[in-house]
């Protein structure tokens, strides 16, 4: 058993206890803030076994129209299309113009749109994020690139206290149409200060919308939706996905392609266990699901959250009604994380449908180490997801 598994298990076990304590305090009167949402229906006696597909489900017109896109190209296309479509849109950040972006996501944009709309900034996250918020308050639609979200901690006051709250605090008269984007979470060989997942941080703020793309279609559709959305949106990309290729449907290649917020995507249909995940871990879950199928004949359903806030709870509930088992998979820290939220939601909305306690697989509770071996043990991998799912299902 690897060290990662031990860590996750131990944490999960101790935290599960804490969750139980939290749950027991639920006494008679509830406050307005913690109202329940969906009415419960009675559980169907048998799981609906529908026709399922072992590969990823994609609605494609024909294979010939599908092109391979890297996530980087998909993001670049999204930016170019939105800059083209709306003169109020501009992008700024460190090295986004002359240098084409630290990760080349903004490649070619300076040549195409000029220095007034593709802007290199001084190295001051609070400064250029603040400038972008001001421009948004003045009616423009800025896209702020952080070289990585790790550096955005310098600007977090602008993101939360200014961008996310002004619309509400102004009585709805002052919108802030801004998009913050950049690579987030796990990255290879860059140690603790460059590989941290901020999904839970931003996901907890009312007023922000938060999305986390996995595939190229996700990347393009979500980024375009973010730029068009009148609210401040945080787009959490992943550095290791930038160079990965995914098939892009004909519809997604068009310039009117957007993915609505608050809708998860079933990447793989299954009937035995639900794996809910986001960003890079979606791909890991799909690999683990294939191994579960080939080794044990287990059909895992893989849900790609896409949108963190608002979150598509219905999609998870629907899946769990069918599978009866739930594992949340993410690469953030275990405490107070995205998977903590999903497990809390499972207590609120899925308790009666679960055949086993919902589980989570997360990063280890350590600042990400630099050494390759230690780093590998700090994050979930395909094998861990596979083994944890098999263990849960007692196969």
Partner 1 sequence: MSFAAPFRRSLIPRTTRTIASRYPCSKRRCFASVTSSNPPEAPREPEGTREVPMTVGDGGSGTVRPVRQRHGSDRLVFPGAVNSRFTNRLRFRMSDPNEAIETYRVMDTEGQIVDETHGLDFEALKEETLKMYNSMVTISVMDQIMYDSQRQGRISFYIVNAGEEGIAVGSAAALSDKDVIYAQYREAGVLMHRGFTFEEFMSQCFSNKKDPGQGRNMPIHYGSRRLNFHPISSPLATQLPHAAGAGYALKLEGTPACAVTYFGEGAASEGDFHAALNIAATRGCPTVFICRNNGYAISTPTLEQYKGDGIASRGVGYGIDTIRVDGNDAWAVYKVTKEAREIAIAEKKPVLIEAMSYRVSHHSTSDDSFAYRARVEVEDWKRRDNPITRMRKFMELRNWWDQEKDTQLRTHVRKDILKAFNAAEREKKPAISKLWEDVYDKPTKDQWAQMAEMKDILDRYGEEYDLDMYDGGKGEVVIKK
Q: How far is CA 334 from CA 23, 93, 191, in A?
A: 19, 31, 18
Q: Residue 143 pairs with which residues in a beta bridge?
A: 91, 179
Q: Which is nearer to partner 1, 135 or 266 (CB)?
A: 135
Q: Which is nearer to partner 1, 93 or 334 (CB)?
A: 93
CB of residue 281 vs partner 1: minimum separation in angstroms? 23
CB of residue 151 vs partner 1: minimum separation in angstroms? 5
Q: How far is CA 229 from CA 141, 208, 210, 260, 360, in A?
A: 10, 11, 11, 10, 31
**Do 304 and 216 meet the contact criterion of CB atoms below 8 Å apart?**
no
Annotation says 145 is catalytic:
no
- How many other C-beta atoms can be found within 10 angstroms of the C-beta atom of residue 260? 12
Q: Which is nearer to partner 1, 33 or 48 (CB)?
A: 33
Annotation says 341 is catalytic:
no
In this structure, what is the dihedral angle of CA atoms 250, 253, 259, 263, given to the nearest 10 degrees? 40
Q: Which is nearer to partner 1, 162 or 323 (CB)?
A: 162
For 304: left if phi > 0, alpha if psi spans -120 to 50, otherwise beta; the answer is: beta
Q: Is 74 exposed, middle or buried (0-12, 13-18, 19+ CB in 10 A)?
A: buried
Closest residue by Cα to residue 72 from 190, 199, 194, 246: 246
Residue tagged active-site, from 82, 194, 239, 301: 194
CB of residue 203 vs partner 1: minimum separation in angstroms? 13
CB of residue 16 vs partner 1: minimum separation in angstroms? 25
Closest residue by Cα to residue 79 from 123, 144, 164: 144
Q: Which is nearer to partner 1, 159 or 384 (CB)?
A: 159
Length of the chain: 395
CB of residue 275 vs partner 1: minimum separation in angstroms? 24
Residues taking part in catalysis: 125, 194
């Amino acid at each position: 058993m690897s060290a990662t598994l031990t860590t996750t298990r131990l944490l999960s076990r101790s935290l599960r206890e804490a969750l139980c304590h939290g749950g027991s305090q639920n006494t008679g009167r509830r406050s307005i803030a913690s109202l329940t949402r969906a009415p419960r229906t009675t559980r169907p006696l048998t799981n609906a076994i529908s026709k399922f597909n072992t590969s990823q489900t994609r609605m494609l017109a024909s294979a010939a129209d599908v092109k391979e896109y890297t996530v980087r190209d998909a993001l670049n296309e999204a930016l170019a299309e939105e800059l083209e479509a709306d003169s109020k849109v501009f992008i700024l950040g460190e090295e986004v113009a002359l240098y084409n972006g630290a990760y080349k996501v903004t490649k070619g944009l300076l040549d195409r749109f000029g220095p007034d709309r593709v802007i290199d900034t001084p190295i001051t996250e609070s400064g250029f994020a603040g400038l972008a918020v001001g421009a948004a308050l003045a009616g423009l639609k800025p896209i702020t690139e952080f070289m990585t979200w790790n550096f955005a901690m310098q600007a977090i006051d602008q993101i939360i206290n200014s961008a996310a709250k002004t619309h509400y605090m102004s009585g709805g008269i002052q919108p802030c149409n801004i998009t913050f984007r950049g690579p987030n979470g796990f990255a290879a060989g860059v140690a603790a200060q460059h590989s941290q997942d901020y999904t839970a941080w931003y996901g907890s703020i009312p007023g922000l919308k938060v999305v986390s793309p996995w595939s190229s279609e996700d990347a393009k559709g979500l980024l375009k939706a973010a730029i068009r959305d009148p609210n401040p949106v945080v787009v959490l990309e992943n550095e290791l996905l930038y160079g990965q290729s995914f098939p892009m449907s004909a519809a997604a290649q068009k310039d009117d392609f957007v993915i609505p917020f608050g809708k998860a995507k079933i990447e793989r249909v299954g009937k035995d266990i639900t794996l809910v995940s986001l960003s890079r871990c979606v791909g890991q879950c799909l690999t683990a699901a294939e191994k579960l199928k080939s080794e044990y004949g287990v059909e895992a359903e893989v849900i790609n959250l896409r949108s963190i806030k608002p979150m598509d709870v219905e999609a998870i509930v629907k899946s769990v009604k069918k599978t009866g088992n739930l594992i949340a998979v993410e690469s953030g820290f275990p405490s107070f994380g995205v998977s903590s939220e999903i497990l809390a939601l499972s207590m609120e909305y899925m308790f009666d449908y679960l055949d086993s306690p919902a589980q989570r697989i997360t990063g280890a509770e350590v600042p990400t180490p630099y050494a390759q071996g230690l780093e590998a043990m700090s994050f979930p991998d395909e094998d861990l997801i596979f083994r944890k799912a098999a263990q849960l299902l007692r196969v």
